Structure 1
Amino acid sequence: MQLFYDEHINSSVKTHQIAIDESRHILRVLRKQIGDIIYLTNGVGQGFKCKICAVASKQCEVNIVEVFEDEPLPYHLHIAIAPTKSSDRFEFFLEKATEIGVSEITPLLCKNSERKRLNTKRCHKILQSAMKQSQRLHLPHLNEMMTFEKFIEQDFNTSQKFIAHCENQEKSYFAQHLKEHKKICMLIGPEGDFDLNEIEIALQSNFKPVSLGEKRFRTETAGIFVCQALSLHHHI
């Protein structure tokens, strides 16, 4: 099943005009025609089996034949992560985290951050592409980049909060906490790690310091590791 994305499609209508970008791919690249069956998702858990019923120069219209749903992840994972200096490596994290399973991502601007700007539009496209490729029906929520201090001040609504850092301090293994909580917020620092003051602020805000293992990971690897640990624990 090849999946397409249109955030505006919903189960309350019988016909829908697909957005221009996806229509272009459907018509010009895949050469789909009137009568062909395609599959769409709105990224919020609904999938749609559709039949192309009309074709214009830039868009196509479909009849919704069947609506199906996908259960969300059995946990809510929010990863707040400092984008890497190499945009390719951060985009790799976005892609793999979406494929494995993540609910929400917040790019963090930390004291040691080497990347201070982010192409949010491109990031959204990567998330959408990864969702379609992995045939998920839930699109992770991507927040705007924010400073470490502003992020810490938020109300996390009963989330269990963790910070993974490399300093030689007392920490528990993240794996020990997998059975305890289904709503998790994880802080992952930049390539130069969190500043000592940032770690102290996080601890004062009740973030638990955790280790991801004996080896030191790159930023993007740490984010993927957290996604995979939860996925394996919940047998997804």
Structure 2
Amino acid sequence: MHLFYQPNPPGGLKSDESWLTEDDSRHAVKTLRLGTGDAIAVTDGHGNRHLAVITQADPRRCAYRITDTQTTPPRPFSIRICVAPTKNNDRIEWFVEKAVEVGIERISFFFGYHSERRVFKRERLEKIAVAAMKQSLQAYLPQIDDAVSFNELLKTVDGPQRFIAHLPDGEMPANLARVAKPAGQYVVLIGPEGDFSGMEIEQALAAGFQLVTLGPNRLRTETAALTACQLLNFIHA
């Protein structure tokens, strides 16, 4: 069944009627060729999945009526990846798309000492996250945060399972997959292309972060961010 996103659908009565967004209306009617009476699913991005039927197949304002509502409980763990925007926008967009498909609750961005990109457009990434949520048939839309300074980011993090991924020249720290405990609220810091500065690592450690590695290979920023997301999901597979 095709899944669409409507953040504020009507709740309660089965006779309630609402409309898909203009983009989803066009996709449903023009691309998918859905018509009146066809069944669809609509999520609000907060765990509610509404089963519905199309009542008016208008490519500009496709109307639907809710027939049933199912609520998906939150996962017993949560993943927050904090990453510096890459110089190439396509790479960070790729990360957001794939991380949402794999499973993630929150994505935060920060500007570090070695960050090459200082311009950030959250709206574009939110659209990519919505598309990935629908494609992977999920009922929760991850939170996408505006980019802030590294110092400001550290102030927003709490909880015991905080990690900073770094590949040092000397002794290797423990792998994230070995130190992360199941059913936790995870926060992982991923540095920019130039990696974290020594001062930033010291600040993170002082703020309660644990130094970890994602393996012996040096990874690109977006690859490291997705790898961390996958490792934490695999713990609960």
- Which band: TM-score by shorter chain? over 0.9
Deviation of residue 17 (structure 1)?
2.1
Tell me, yes or no, if the aligned pair for 2:76 and 2:183 is still in contact at 8 Å: no
Distance 1:180 1:51 in 2: 40
The within-5 A match list for 1:4-15 is: 4-13=4-13, 14-15=16-17
Among 83, 108, 123, the residue aligned to 1:106: 108
Tell me, yes or no, if the aligned pair for 1:73 and 1:101 is still in contact at 8 Å: no
Distance 1:116 1:211 in 2: 26
1:163 is aligned with what amino acid?
I
Tell me the alpha carbon deviations over residues 88-141 of structure 1, each in whole angstroms, 9 at most, x when there is no partner: 111111011101111100011111111111221110111011111111111110
Distance 1:177 1:38 in 2: 42
Q: Which residue of 1 aligns with 2:203?
A: 201
Tell me the alpha carbon deviations over residues 57-104 of structure 1, each in whole angstroms, 9 at most, x when there is no partner: 620211101212223222111110011111111111101110111110
Among 178, 190, 193, the residue aligned to 2:192: 190
Q: Does 1:224 align with 2:218?
A: no
Distance 1:21 1:165 in 2: 41
Distance 2:29 2:89 in 1: 31
Over 6 Å off, 4+ runs: none
Tell me, yes or no, if the aligned pair for 1:6 and 1:41 is still in contact at 8 Å: yes
The within-5 A match list for 1:48-197 is: 48-56=50-58, 58-156=60-158, 158-168=159-169, 171-179=173-181, 182-197=184-199
Distance 2:163 2:87 in 1: 23
Q: Number of paired residues?
A: 234
TM normalised by structure 1 equals 0.93
1:39 is aligned with what amino acid?
A
1:161 is aligned with what amino acid?
R
Tell me the alpha carbon deviations over residues 134-192 of structure 1, each in whole angstroms, 9 at most, x when there is no partner: 11111110011111011112252x24211112333652221122225611111000011
- Unmatched tracts of structure 2, length 5 or more: none
Q: Does 1:31 align with 2:71?
A: no
TM normalised by structure 2 equals 0.92
With over 3 angstroms needed to count, the CA separation of the structure-2 counterparts of 1:180 and 1:3, relative to structure 1, is: closer
- Unmatched tracts of structure 1, length 5 or more: none
1:167 is aligned with what amino acid?
P
